[in-house]
Structure 1
Amino acid sequence: MNKKVTSIFIAVVFILTLCSFAAYYPSDKNELNNKIESNIVYNKKKHNITLSWSAFGTSGDYIITRGGSRLASDFVSVGSTSKLTFIDNKPNADKYENYYKVTRGAVTIILSLENQIFGPNMYFYDRKYEKAETAKNDINSQFGSIGLGGANGEWTTKRQAYYFKANVKDQTYDSGGSGSASSAAANSIELGFYSHIGGLGKLPSDVKLGSVFTRPHLSGGANATCTFWRSVENVAVMRDFAWTVSQSTSARRMLIESTSKYISDIGNTNFWGSGGFIADTHFTTSRPNWGGQQQWYTRNAIFPSGSGAMGGSYNMVWQGCVNPPQADEANSPIPTTPIIREKPFLFIDKDGEYKIFIPAWQKDRQGISWSSTDMGKGKIQDLLTDWYVTKEGDTDAEINAALKAGKNIFFTPGHYTLNAPIQVNRKDAILLGAGIASVTLEPTEKNTWGCIYADDKDGIIIAGLLMDSFNSTTYQIRIGAEGANADHAANPILLTDITCRVGGVQSKNIQIQTAMQINSNNVVGDHFWLWRADHGSQRGGDLRWARDRCKNGLIVTGDDVTLYGLFTEHFQEYEVLWLGEGGSTYFFQNEPPYDAPNQASWSSQGGRVDGYAAFKVANTVKEHHSIGMGSYAVLTGTDGKVNKKNGFEIPNSPNVKLEKMCTTRFAGSGNIQNVINGIGGSTETGKKRVVLYNNNTDGTQPYDEEFDLPNKESYPAYIDMEKK
């Protein structure tokens, strides 16, 4: 394990000590087998920096040069030594603006405080020391060299985040260009799989980028339906923002001063995608184009005035937006967001230190949480004082110990193997990943429980994490123990930018009972993709049905749970099962499992009903309201005769209602035979819609059922889990 940042106060002397394995660049590939340990000590009183390292190279002195950033245009000589230590008595004023190259022979290592705090998978850019095109060239070189954009990039193990420091005076990160972001002339940043862009300013306008493009890898770049797993937040885009993406992609806290589009303009066919999510964003110059996107959820955005539709095919939800499209069969503008807390984010404060901003809860909000001069309501925590910064290789025991000691957790990009769940067991605890899919949690064979178990406590925040399933577990994430009943109305639990992935990569048979279960009351979810993989690096069809087992994407037993932007796909029974009272979902997207081999293997309610509804509200529920619901048939089972009776099922009850439902068929011979409770018509004859179902007398309430939920012993006995 890499040693952690330690802050030591001795009288008025502040010493920052970091020990890790340095980044290094050997010309001899055999050197790659050797790790060079390094150490940095910053003395605040003396304002000097001491470097030390383990021996490397063959002969001669160690030559030390210094730049203001990793990719600074100029590195100046600061000395040489035959020893394994060196003191720089005149470093740059900002301790984080000191990057050292130590060279001996053909080997060079790079030492910096930022590298030692955040590890090798976070890349920092600083316009003060770099050319405008430096960051773009660096990111695009990674995009091209490690397969982040090609077909194999979808399953790459590489994880990374790119952080931009605030602009200097009138300088920006725009290297100049013209035309669509997809064109070579645009000089765009191309963001690939499992990657994140973050601005380190207080406001999006503090970091200005030129153009940004997410290049689809299907149909020669025209089809974005598998452009997953990437995110961007807290930056401004000056020229063109071409966010041509599908699920598990997040754009937050953005200032779009340019054209923007959410569908590819490459080629001349298949201009379509399966997105998407954008929130807390101000579009200043033009109304965006969603083109052939199947669906999209947009929350708390400001658009230029105008009433024209902005594209989209089946289910477009605009919540808490200023100047949204007018309502029609595909577009559902909702005036306000009833309760929301924006996702926390990393930034550099005016004192030069890394901080985390934790936005405040807001009710009935319209528009963005920030202004051109104010970062918004919330609180600020010091990263090195209040947080434990993980690096790839850290264990569940270390992370749980930090949580128990009162630290919040900032996950840097990488893979984290877990012999037991991460246990979030105190009020206001935070797990924050860099991005949406740059941090992957992976249970080992020893861990039969899951990735995260959160106790029933006020104010917990879990954000920006991907949970994978190489081994069988009860859950991937569980919020509140079974039977949780605390009232969190004054300080709800927040889950944001959460991805649960079942299957796709492992070759052995696994069984997950449910990807996510929410037992606590007053939970707010802001953007989930719960996905049992319909494709991957392993063979599909009947093999996938038996290999990648998972009953439910989401089970909700808690009361007053509110979800925004819920994407849930391909699970083998009810994909969403709602048992709690007072629940709401604003936007739901679903495809049923492609791979049910025959109808007998995929029937519900004691075998009396073909298939399982995508969104099931139990007959015992008395109050529920959801809006903007889509389920799309791709039933390609082995025998070609697999159907689903209902897209959605709810009780016939006066205070239970679903609005703006849509079903259609994308592929395969099977159909969704009704939209909801036996009404609405079959997808065999095309797209079907039901505007409102609320205690309809022409619909048939589903049969009463008892549901097989995980039992109360489904937590690890050797961890001090809170029991109810």
Structure 2
Amino acid sequence: MIKKLISIFTAFAFMLILCSFITSNLSDEKKQDNKIQGKIVYNKKKHNVVLSWPAFGTSGNYVITKAGSRLASDFIALGSTSKLTFTDNKPNADKYENYYKVTRNDIALIISLENQIFGDNMYFYDRKYEKAETARNEINSQFGAIGLGGSNGEFTTKRQAYYFKANIKGQTYDSGGSGSASSATANSIELGFYSHIGGLGKVPSDVKLGSIFTRPHLSGGANATCTFWRSVENVAVMRDFAWTVSQSTSARRMSIESTSKYISDIGDTNFWGSGGFIADTHYTSTRPDWGGQQQWYTRNAVFPSGSGAMGGSYNMVWQGCVNPPQADDANSPIPVTPIIREKPFLFIDNDGEYKVFVPAWQKDRVGVSWSATDMGKGKIQDLLMDWYVAKEGDTDVEINNALKAGKNIFFTPGHYALNAPIQVNKKDAILLGAGIASVTLEPTEKNTWGCIFADDKDGIIIAGLLMDSFNSTTYQVRIGDEGANADHSADPILLTDITCRVGGVQSKNIQIQTSMQINSNNVVGDHFWLWRADHGSQKGGDVRWARDRCKNGLIVVGDDVTLYALFAEHYQEYEVLWLGERGRTFFFQNEPPYDAPNQASWSSQDGRVDGYAAFKVANTVKEHHSIGMGSYAVFTGNGGIVNKKNGFEIPNSPNVKL
């Protein structure tokens, strides 16, 4: 056992050193030249399509062809014109199955409703018109072409989402293959940084993929501790799901028909990762192996029968799961999920229109929220009627005006630069991001408040967003104003798949008080990563300690706040400070800061206590309950001269329990 612990610590320390040397080319990135943009108007009454475009090329007519999807192999000729407009009086019955190519002098412009609605960073695949391997080949080519497979992708501003339309007539998106997902013979989709896979069916089995693989870029592929920022939801995986990841990675609403392992089989050393999240997922035939993961949170999953361990070093939480591992030093099975609302998602309804499904609240749930034929309980909203579809380049003014007009916001993949916070100011408002969309606080003197401010209103949902700060601010996310006291128990506030990032990319000094402050009561958080960056494109060590300032990752003031899968790391004072009553946390992962230069700069309680506790429940709190709590200290940047006395601090009260 002692040898094993030494081995784990040595490998972990080596991982920290590797992460500290990662560099990025973010500051050198330049926006692409503006692309030629066409326009498409669909007339439902006449059932025709009118195209228009700006002049391009030098001579000759514009040639128009059409196919049912962007990557279809059978574009057919419709005609040619010298004008800058063209009318198709016989479009395909489904308006979204009309992709037009306008060509002149070897320059081709693709025009479609989907591109016009969702922009250039969302890619749609349609098995009705495309070969099974088409989507895989394109996704993998992007993975290599834009640097998303290595360290250069870690802090890129590029964002992308890949959406698959429902299979038809028994077809799948699986082009065949064999072996574990990381092998060349498996023909897997490789998902890189800031990428998302989504199924557009009603249930996961409507979209069947072959195999999905995430490729770690450290230690020859053996080290997944910096494999961040990617997600997948609402699909079935037929052959292998090798989800080799760490923080800020989300796998939701999936049917996994076969899986070999979670940790990859590439590289020449033992594999290890540093945590992740999976929820609302059914493993139909094989129990997965989390071997190599230090910690992991799994919620409302269904596994084949069996009770043995499924890997993991020391903190594995299984909540509301069917057939979880038995309890032991590493595994904490929790029978039910006391209150949960699943993340909303985009899909295509029976009428051919894009909709958003907003799942209902459920209490004391076990297992998944859906069945093979039923979406589950919830409400359906029409995307074009009820939502504002934001695209990269939209400002805080445009987004806030849409919210004031009563629209919810669907953030297509992109890097949203704000000069003022997004103000969520109405009941049941929803912010939903795709492709790890980033809401970025830009360095202007006017923006001193934060990225997102939500009022103290019932039913607000904020999901799938990464908050960056390139400027000093009070908060990055604030839920409820100071003094909020409304009772939201009948319709709680939901925060899901939220990342707050401090540092890592900006070069100027910033001072942030708190990444997230929850002032409202009855808030449910479902998967956070609150991260003061321990590595990035800028110099670390003492310079980082002074440049990237942030005291707290999370302050909870509201009562009856429930959090699932809370990851918080490297903040400079208490990483989580809990002031509200009847709080609950199910799973907590923490590392203290690496870069405290000396003990005097990192001591709590007026210098009497070395370091700061990772999780502090205030002395005034009378009732609190948390389970599956982990904090591990590895001090690599200060020569061992800095110590930490307490991992957790709670009042001595019978109803406060960790």
Shorter-chain TM-score bucket reads over 0.9
Equivalent in the alignment of 1:703: none
Structure 1 segment 413-424 matched on structure 2, within 5 A:
413-424=413-424
Equivalent in the alignment of 1:443: 442
Structure 1 residue 303 displacement after superposition = 0.1
Equivalent in the alignment of 1:656: 656
Equivalent in the alignment of 1:109: 109
Structure 1 residue 33 displacement after superposition = 4.6
Equivalent in the alignment of 1:474: 474
1:202 aligns with 2:177: no
Equivalent in the alignment of 2:211: 211
Structure 1 residue 170 displacement after superposition = 1.1
Secondary structure in 1 matching 2:268: coil
One-letter amino acid of the structure 2 residue matched with residue 465 of structure 1: L
1:534 aligns with 2:529: no
1:50 aligns with 2:50: yes
Alpha carbons of 1:33 and 1:153: their partners in 2 closer, same or farther (altered >3 Å)? closer
Equivalent in the alignment of 1:714: none
One-letter amino acid of the structure 2 residue matched with residue 179 of structure 1: G
Secondary structure in 1 matching 2:629: strand
One-letter amino acid of the structure 1 residue matched with residue 275 of structure 2: G
Structure 1 residue 438 displacement after superposition = 3.5
Secondary structure in 2 matching 1:40: strand
Q: Distance in 2 between matches of 1:533 and 1:117?
A: 34
Equivalent in the alignment of 1:622: 622
| Greater RCO, CA 8 A, separation 6+ | 2
Alpha carbons of 1:591 and 1:34: their partners in 2 closer, same or farther (altered >3 Å)? closer
Equivalent in the alignment of 1:148: 148
Following superposition, which runs of at least 4 residues in structure 1 exceed 4 angstroms of deviation? 32-35
Equivalent in the alignment of 1:23: none
One-letter amino acid of the structure 2 residue matched with residue 568 of structure 1: A
Secondary structure in 2 matching 1:635: coil
Structure 1 residue 439 displacement after superposition = 3.5
1:324-375 Cα distance to aligned partner (Å, 9 max, x none): 0000011000000000000000000000000000000000000000001100
Structure 1 residue 260 displacement after superposition = 4.4
1:292 aligns with 2:292: yes
Secondary structure in 1 matching 2:152: helix
Q: Distance in 1 between matches of 2:123 and 2:496?
A: 23
Q: Paired residues, what number?
A: 626
Q: Distance in 2 between matches of 1:34 and 1:493?
A: 39
Equivalent in the alignment of 1:499: 499
Structure 1 residue 38 displacement after superposition = 1.9
Q: Contact between 1:636 and 1:642, CA under 8 Å: does it hold in 2?
A: no
Alpha carbons of 1:34 and 1:271: their partners in 2 closer, same or farther (altered >3 Å)? closer
Q: Contact between 2:241 and 2:259, CA under 8 Å: does it hold in 1?
A: yes
Equivalent in the alignment of 1:380: 380
Secondary structure in 2 matching 1:651: coil
Equivalent in the alignment of 1:701: none
Equivalent in the alignment of 2:192: 192
Equivalent in the alignment of 1:250: 250
Equivalent in the alignment of 2:404: 404
Structure 1 segment 310-459 matched on structure 2, within 5 A:
310-435=310-435, 437-445=436-444, 446-459=446-459
One-letter amino acid of the structure 2 residue matched with residue 201 of structure 1: G
Q: Contact between 1:460 and 1:493, CA under 8 Å: does it hold in 2?
A: yes
Q: Contact between 1:412 and 1:439, CA under 8 Å: does it hold in 2?
A: no
Q: Distance in 1 between matches of 2:524 and 2:606?
A: 33
1:9-65 Cα distance to aligned partner (Å, 9 max, x none): xxxxxxxxxxxxxxxxxxxxxxx7564342111011111100001100010000001
Q: Contact between 1:441 and 1:465, CA under 8 Å: does it hold in 2?
A: no
Equivalent in the alignment of 1:223: 223
Task: Normalising by structure 1, report the TM-score.
Answer: 0.86
Structure 1 residue 653 displacement after superposition = 0.4
Q: Distance in 2 between matches of 1:568 and 1:33?
A: 38
Structure 1 residue 441 displacement after superposition = 3.1
Q: Contact between 1:415 and 1:442, CA under 8 Å: does it hold in 2?
A: no
Secondary structure in 2 matching 1:265: coil
Structure 1 segment 539-618 matched on structure 2, within 5 A:
539-618=539-618
Q: Contact between 1:195 and 1:438, CA under 8 Å: does it hold in 2?
A: no
Alpha carbons of 1:557 and 1:654: their partners in 2 closer, same or farther (altered >3 Å)? same
One-letter amino acid of the structure 2 residue matched with residue 370 of structure 1: W
1:655-677 Cα distance to aligned partner (Å, 9 max, x none): 1010xxxxxxxxxxxxxxxxxxx
Which segments of 5 or more consecutive residues in structure 2 lack a partner in the other structure?
1-31
Task: Normalising by structure 2, report the TM-score.
Answer: 0.94
RMSD: 0.9
Secondary structure in 1 matching 2:38: strand
Secondary structure in 2 matching 1:259: coil
Structure 1 residue 442 displacement after superposition = 3.2
Q: Which deviates the most, 38-47 or 363-372?
A: 38-47
Which segments of 5 or more consecutive residues in structure 1 lack a partner in the other structure?
1-31, 659-724
Q: Distance in 2 between matches of 1:562 and 1:428?
A: 19
Q: Contact between 1:417 and 1:444, CA under 8 Å: does it hold in 2?
A: no
Identity %: 87
Q: Contact between 2:416 and 2:437, CA under 8 Å: does it hold in 1?
A: no
Equivalent in the alignment of 2:130: 130
Q: Distance in 1 between matches of 2:304 and 2:33?
A: 55
